[in-house]
Structure 1
Amino acid sequence: MAYAIEAHGLHKSFQTHEAVCGVDLAIRQGELFALLGPNGAGKTTTIHMLTTLLLPDRGSAHICGYDVVHDAAAVRRHISVTGQFAALDESLTGMQNLMLFAELHGYNRKEARMLAEKLLESFNLVNAGGKTVGNYSGGMRRRLDLAAGVLSQPKVMFLDEPTTGLDPQSRRELWDVVRRLVNNGTTVLLTTQYLEEADQLADRIGFIAAGKIIAVGTPEQLKESIGGKMLTIRLKEGSDPADICRLIESEYGLEAHMDDNGSIVKLVAGEAILAHKVIGTLLDQSAMIEDFTLSEPILDDVYFALTANNGKESGS
């Protein structure tokens, strides 16, 4: 099996805080791998080590076979990194930006123009090529930034929350661009705060929490790991979700969780008959239920279950 990205036992600490503690990764060539986790879980630190921006304290990592510490220059020749903010000159046009990047990569002016024209067409920016980037929409900027990122024909792209702040239509347009990159053989490591995005794009997903990889699998495998259907109970204003969670656990031995604002309680109910029993018991106890649904789990449910369980194991 050929891996574009490999990491073994990566560790990184900042003073007394261990941000990454033993990350292992094996990402295949041509795969889109999404790395998900809460803020502070270690996603950005891991990416910074893989892209040679930070030296690991311990462990090793290789990109396209090159060691990120001892062969850092070779690693940089094979990768492209696109962050949350477009690295573009807003006073230049889209065409001028791409030509500038091309010339920095060693193309002469004629070659740079030909490449820029090709990229503008590939990223659906032909009509915007003559406009200054300062007048671009957020979605157009992100597409131009990706176009600049693929200009060097990288084998591996790191996309760090590329659609943050974009409207739904712009996000979907960017998804199409990312899909084309993967279809053309580029390996992509994606971080995102949108679980739907990972579900739509990723071949496999890794969840990271407290600096450790806690689960890896395809979206389908991760959803199946929940173990049954999800019962979602929406509560009326004034209800006590903590009491409802305790009642469900005492009566059925099921662990229920409430959302941040306390208006929704969720639990794995398995089959419909058990879900109906739970609802019947709550109604018998005069629980203030607005409505409820029974559905197949989604990545949000996986994310919540994994991060909640990890918090308990770590004592937080």
Structure 2
Amino acid sequence: MRSKITLKELAKLLNVSVSTVSKSLNGSPEISENTVKRVKELAELHNYSPNLTAINLKRQSTGNIAVIVPNISNTFFAKVLGGIQAEARKLGYQVITYISNESLTVEKQIMDLVSNGIADGILISLSAETQTTKNYDHIYRLTEYEIPVVLFDRINVALVLDKVGVDDMQSIYNAVQYLKSKGLSKIGLVCSIGDLGLAQARIEGYRAAMGDLHVPLKEEFLIVSKDSRVLTKQLDLLLENHKMEAFVTLDYLSTLLTSRVVQEKDLKIPQDIKIIGYVNEDFAPFLWPSISYIDQHPIKIGEEATQLLMERIKKPQPKNVEEKVLKTEIIHLDSTDF
């Protein structure tokens, strides 16, 4: 499907402002006849047509908000959706949910569909591919039509938009600091989502904490890979070569994998190895042993993101974007029993 040219793209081709293009197409007397002619000729050449349904979003409400999540592989996003759903209903809105499956192409297709007038605003957690490629054109295109967009959870990206999430760097910094306060120094990191902005922030938090606490940082203590087989092999090797005391694990997969590999090496949790990871409150207590985790308050993220989106729907074009950062909390279970 051929992409529709936008006002912004026309303006760039003509080296004029978006406002000039818009006024020219609407026959504004403020614009010279020569400029109007140039704009209309180029618009015709590129088969430009205004997105009428998107424009109508500024004038009437659909009663819907769209939510785009990157995956449903764990219950974190289900919890966020629960918070969104509850808050939206309070405010008289229905929620339309889409899954991008970590695909930029799918995300673009969803955005194109939503921009055609089925929702008053969008809540989105960006796909891994979008962050890896840093391709955000489809996000900014919505802002042309003044469709409110709020990012949630995966907010460590270079986009000037409203955001709701947690301080990922500080979360891991606090976890490492806690383990160090208990006299531990051989603290490793395991991550299977290294291409995401939030993972980079967590890794930065680990490095900062190890540095600030005057703990020698060995690069082999950091195990980062999307391939579970690589993670397993490197973790197994690390445990053979070093008497590790603890691990911080940055996502659901790496948390479960670390717990399994440690126990397969005949090491006991928490007697030999302590673990603080990212697992959901629904599962953490039922693992054996139960795993201490960083609570990101997903329901609260959903509620706060929905409230912010509603503010933007009611009062569009704020002077400044807003970033709401929630504090995380370490929930201590068996794996940090000292």
TM-score calculated relative to the size of structure 1:
0.33
- Relative to total residues, which structure has the larger strand share, 1 or 2? 1
TM-score calculated relative to the size of structure 2:
0.32
